[in-house]
Chain A
Amino acid sequence: SQTIHQWPATLVQPVGSPLSLECTVEGTSNPNLYWYRQAAGRGLQLLFYSVGIGQISSEVPQNLSASRPQDRQFILSSKKLLLSDSGFYLCAWAPGGGNNEQFFGPGTRLTVL
């Protein structure tokens, strides 16, 4: 069966520090991968998605970037964090090639101080 992992689970970082959040999927190949942010009391905002290695689509201009160095690995990064980057970050995967559900990881709670 497929599983999706995110780490770390929680992170407290000072303003201006770098960020790296990792997401990995097991038990499938060539998945579509997604990064969402969920700010307190708000819905999900799609940040990036990827349909293959090295292919990244950005949904909103922001302080963050994403990379997909391997088929089942998706990384969210920042060179300098802002206070507004605080939130709950969710990674998700979906079968590539036309199926539709997305399956979500447990999330990372990021607090920028």
Chain B
Amino acid sequence: AQSVTQPDIHITVSEGASLELRCNYSYGATPYLFWYVQSPGQGLQLLLKYFSGDTLVQGIKGFEAEFKRSQSSFNLRKPSVHWSDAAEYFCAARVTGFQKLVFGTGTRLLVSP
């Protein structure tokens, strides 16, 4: 079955440290891939997306993600985390021809001083 897995439920990172959030997908073909961020009580905001081409994708707020076909992964990274990055992050995937996104269960990022 098609699925998106975010293995880390919570991650705590010190402010200024680097961040990597993991995402793995299980699809027969390469899906379109997305990362969203959700602040408490808010809707989801699109950080970045991968459709094809360059496997390193730049997004908003200094985030980037790298698509690795061999590992079926699309990990989100940021070189230096700010306290305002504390939020929940969702990875999502969609296969061509389907109208739906499949979301991972999310990773809650905590930023310590």
B104 touches A104 (CB 8 A): no
Contact indicator A105/B43 (Cβ below 8 Å): yes
B56, CB-defined interface residue at 8 Å: no
**Using a Cβ–Cβ cut-off of 8 Å, how many residues does chain B contribute to the interface with A?**
20
* A43-86 near B? 1/0 per residue, CB < 8 Å: 11010010100000001000000000000000000000000000
Instruction: Determine whether A106 belongs to the interface, using a CB cutoff of 8 Å to chain B.
Output: yes
Q: Are A49 and B99 neighbours in the complex by a CB distance under 8 Å?
A: yes
B85 to chain A, nearest CB (A): 19
B84 within 8 Å of A (CB atoms): no
Return the CB mask of B36-59 against A: 1 if under 8 Å, else 0.
Answer: 100001111110010100000000
A105 CB to nearest B CB, Å = 5
Interchain CA distance A51-B90 in the complex, whole Å: 24
Residues of B within 8 A of A88 (CB): 41
Instruction: Give 3 nearest A-B pairs by CB, closest first.
Output: A43-B105, A104-B43, A104-B44
